Amino acid sequence: MTICRMPLRSLAALPALIALGLLAGCGHLQRLEPSHWNVHMPWHHAPAAPEPPVNELVVETMGGSAAPALPQTWDRNTLRVALDQLAGEGELTLRPVQGHGWPIRMEFAVQPGSFQRLELRGDQRIILTVPATGGITVLPVPQGLYASTTTELKLHYGNAAQ
Q: Where are the beta strands (DSSP E) in 13-62?
A: 53-54, 57-61
Q: Are residues 18 and 82 in the same domain?
A: no
> Same structural domain for residues 80 and 153?
yes
3-state helix, strand, coil in the chain (%, to 5): 15, 30, 55
pLDDT per residue as tens digits for the range 4-54: 666 656 667 778 888 877 777 666 555 545 555 555 666 667 777 888 999
The pLDDT of residue 6 is: 60
Please check whether residue 1 lies inside any domain of the structure: no
Who wins on pLDDT, 155 or 7? 155
Same domain? For 80 and 132 the reply is yes
8 Å CB contact between 100 and 56: yes
Range of the domain at 92: 53-158
81-138 pLDDT, tens digit per residue, is 999 999 999 999 999 999 999 999 999 999 999 999 999 999 999 999 999 999 999 9
Residues 105 and 60 in one domain: yes
Give the chain's domain count.
Answer: 2
Q: Is residue 29 part of a domain?
A: yes
> Could you tell me if 31 and 59 lie in one domain?
no
Is residue 124 located within the same domain as residue 96?
yes
Is residue 26 in a domain?
A: yes
- Could you tell me if 23 and 83 lie in one domain? no
Per-residue pLDDT tens for 57-81?
A: 999 997 778 888 999 999 989 999 9
Tell me the HSE value of 45 on the side-chain side, using a 13 A CA sphere: 4
For residues 153 and 88, membership in a common domain is answered with yes
